[in-house]
Structure 1
């Protein structure tokens, strides 16, 4: 196994990968609208969060939006999900204005799955490296919004087979995430078991490409979040 002297997961980085949207334009959209929204809830993540819904409006959305409405209807929500982002991309965004001046009640962090990818632009990370990247994200959030309650999501299951090496890496990451949450006083939320079939496989009815969620998958997430943040009272 390779060892690395520098943990790239904790070094802030701008856009690394090409995706179906303009990374820089979405960043500028966030800076334009964040104070107008004055969010009660901020979601921080990658494409799984990005393509769920909310503001800034995305040109691509997975699912029908019903799961989003079931948990966030009537709430002021800022979606800081950016497709293909790793922890290092989130750190750059938080260092460059996306959270500045915000004081949400809730912050939901769902990041790390793309750190398991090895591309020409960025190597894959070890579980310990990703954990340290998430720690740095939490530190940034608390610098800006010390009173916010933070929900740290376990990385969702990925790949169909429970024996897939990426699935096992994610399992180890989630063990470290749980320990980190206990150390830092975060709410750790793991919906992975509810997403899997009895034999441990990941059904495409939940994650259509064994990574990104369907509406059914988003509803599992929405239901779990609702139990923590509650519904908006009118």
Structure 2
């Protein structure tokens, strides 16, 4: 991991295969475990134009580092960015919302420079992390989502609000949609799918 701290090798072989195939409607989903695990619940979704490039546990710093290889080089029509919860969990150490925000904006800038349409997703609600019990994430997630939404409005970036659809009355992820309070279960992904598919369809 010292030589590959952002896990570039994870999708290297799959990426090589895609480089040899043209697809004018390719959509790359990039993010952490919430993105990666999606394909376990909806195999069909990621069989055609949709490409899953989630890596469990990753922060925006790691995702940004592999953004060229796992997004830009694949020349997608659209990239769907869902990231930030592991930063708030301090998986890579303490980080401010401003720094998380700047990492995500850097991804957006890179995509726009390559003429790739961007779909920016809100962070899902969470009020606790089982692996970091001392952290209370609810308010920080709310604040960061406000920053992302405002940025999307000012810069005309398509925004998908998972947060307000999936929140419970304790500022956490509704138990109907998650078994651990962080990751969506099958019902959670069923809520997320039509929200993102709707905006993808409009962009295409």
Shared topology, TM-score over 0.5?
yes
Q: Secondary structure at the match of 1:152?
A: strand
1:136 Cα offset (Å): 0.7
Q: Which has the higher contact order (CA 8 A, sep 6+)?
A: 1
1:137 Cα offset (Å): 0.9
Contact 2:46–2:52 under 8 Å retained in 1: no
Compare 41-50 and 198-207 and name the one that shifted more: 198-207
1:199 Cα offset (Å): 5.4
Q: 1:111 aligns with which of 68, 80, 83?
A: 83
Under a length normalisation based on structure 2, what TM-score does the superposition of the two structures give? Answer: 0.82
- Deviations 1:92-132, CA, capped at 9 Å, x for gaps: 1124x22344332221100111111235xx21221111111
1:77 Cα offset (Å): 1.6
Q: 1:211 aligns with which of 151, 157, 182?
A: 182
Contact 1:87–1:137 under 8 Å retained in 2: no
**Distance in 1 between residues matched to 2:72 and 2:50, nearest whole Å:** 15
- 1:128 corresponds to 2:98: yes
- 1:157 corresponds to 2:125: yes
- Where is the helix percentage greater, Structure 1 or Structure 2? 2
**Distance in 1 between residues matched to 2:102 and 2:27, nearest whole Å:** 24
Contact 1:160–1:203 under 8 Å retained in 2: no
1:38 Cα offset (Å): 4.3
**Distance in 2 between residues matched to 1:166 and 1:201, nearest whole Å:** 9
Q: Secondary structure at the match of 2:80?
A: strand
Contact 1:50–1:81 under 8 Å retained in 2: yes
Counterparts of residues 75-224 of structure 1 (less than 5 Å):
75-95=48-68, 97-119=69-91, 122-144=92-114, 146=115, 148-159=116-127, 165-198=136-169, 200-224=171-195
- Deviations 1:18-40, CA, capped at 9 Å, x for gaps: xxxxx454132343233246451
1:165 Cα offset (Å): 2.9
RMSD between superposed Cα atoms in Å: 2.6
**Distance in 1 between residues matched to 2:160 and 2:34, nearest whole Å:** 16
Contact 1:206–1:217 under 8 Å retained in 2: yes
1:84 Cα offset (Å): 1.1
- Deviations 1:69-98, CA, capped at 9 Å, x for gaps: 4xx477412211111111111121124x22
Count of residues in correspondence between the two structures: 193
**Distance in 1 between residues matched to 2:62 and 2:51, nearest whole Å:** 17
Under a length normalisation based on structure 1, what TM-score does the superposition of the two structures give? Answer: 0.72
**Distance in 2 between residues matched to 1:190 and 1:100, nearest whole Å:** 24
